[in-house]
Amino acid sequence: MAEQSNIPAELLQAIQRGEARVVDLTHTLGPQAPFWREGNAPSPFHAKDTATYRRDSYFGREIQIPEHSATHMDAPRHFDPAGKSIDQLAVENFLTMAVVVDVSAAVRSNPDYRVTVADLENWEKAHGPMPRGCLVLLNTGWASRWPSEKQFMNQDAEGVRHFPGYSLGAAHYLLEHVHPVGLGIDTSSIDYGPSKDFEVHRLTMFAGLYHLENVVHLEELPPTGAAVIALPLKLEGGSGSPARVLALVPNEPPARR
């Protein structure tokens, strides 16, 4: 019987041989996680012990969390009443090539920075066209402010948040030229902090994309060549879900001597 190729097995073997590595792009989800305080959401995170070693011989909890807690995925339903809910998204789109656009230098002098079309064009001049259907990740450097809610949400005296995001123009450019499955960012929102109408959300959710927000460790990814596995819970009718997000990064081969 001829040995058939098994590409999933080859991937795992490559990781074991050190030819690729797994990077966890996920913040820990607990009471310290910064939270988007609004509306009637009473609290960021609650955990209650429902089984204890002493009484039950084992330990278990019940957790209470917003769908958009810590590192999470937005489904189109978040803004589009007719859009897919988180449990309806095609699982194939959860495994995708990623490009990372680094605007952290611009953000240092302007926390309200929004990535521009020129930023994307310059990226493509340096790294080639973004692959169709990829996941676009914006590294703004903001993850280093986690877990300080004060620094991460960065509200001014009027309660206006200040953190970077995508410009509407950049989102249009990506939809037209790259057709990404999703957009990701290391802040709480792909719309920048001062946004009142969430115009980028509105564009991209109605276009059927998903978002990954509050991701971390983007600085460990190359601009191109990493794959991302982003898995939300299969929450029935959900607007989104906390997610576990991993990157698979090919390692450079050792230099020849």
Q: Which is nearer to a copy of itself, 66 or 111 (CB)?
A: 66
Q: Does 175 bind a copy of itself (CB under 8 A)?
A: no
* Measured distance CA(236)–CA(157) in Å, rounded: 39
**Dihedral (CA of 218, 219, 224, 228) sign:** negative
Q: Does 148 bind a copy of itself (CB under 8 A)?
A: no
Burial status of residue 244 (CB atoms within 10 A of its CB: 0-12, 13-18, 19 or more): middle
Q: How far is CA 42 from CA 2, 189, 190, 195, 239, in A?
A: 60, 20, 23, 23, 18
Q: Does 168 bind a copy of itself (CB under 8 A)?
A: no
Q: Does 65 bind a copy of itself (CB under 8 A)?
A: yes
Minimum distance from residue 54 beta carbon to a copy of itself (Å): 10
* Measured distance CA(80)–CA(44) in Å, rounded: 24
- What value, to the nearest 5°, has the Cα angle with vertex 179 and ends 174 and 182? 80
Looking at 14, 117, 168, 207, which residue binds a copy of itself (CB under 8 A)?
Answer: 14
Q: Does 128 bind a copy of itself (CB under 8 A)?
A: no
Q: How far is CA 69 from CA 163, 181, 232, 243, 244, in A?
A: 17, 21, 11, 9, 11
Token pair 């098994």 is at which residue? 6
Looking at 34, 68, 104, 163, which residue binds a copy of itself (CB under 8 A)?
Answer: 68
Looking at 34, 35, 96, 204, which residue binds a copy of itself (CB under 8 A)?
Answer: 96
Task: Give buried/exposed letters for 36-55 (b at 16+ CB in 10 A, else e).
Answer: beeeeeeebbeeeeeeeeee
Looking at 34, 35, 77, 171, which residue binds a copy of itself (CB under 8 A)?
Answer: 77
* Measured distance CA(16)–CA(10) in Å, rounded: 10
Q: Which is nearer to a copy of itself, 107 or 134 (CB)?
A: 134
* Residues 185-244 close enough to bind a copy of itself by CB under 8 A: 197-198, 201, 225-227, 229, 231-240, 242-244
Q: Does 249 bind a copy of itself (CB under 8 A)?
A: yes
| Stretch binding a copy of itself (CB under 8 A), from 66-74, 114-122, 150-158, 179-187 | 66-74
Q: Does 47 bind a copy of itself (CB under 8 A)?
A: yes
Minimum distance from residue 168 beta carbon to a copy of itself (Å): 16
Minimum distance from residue 158 beta carbon to a copy of itself (Å): 19
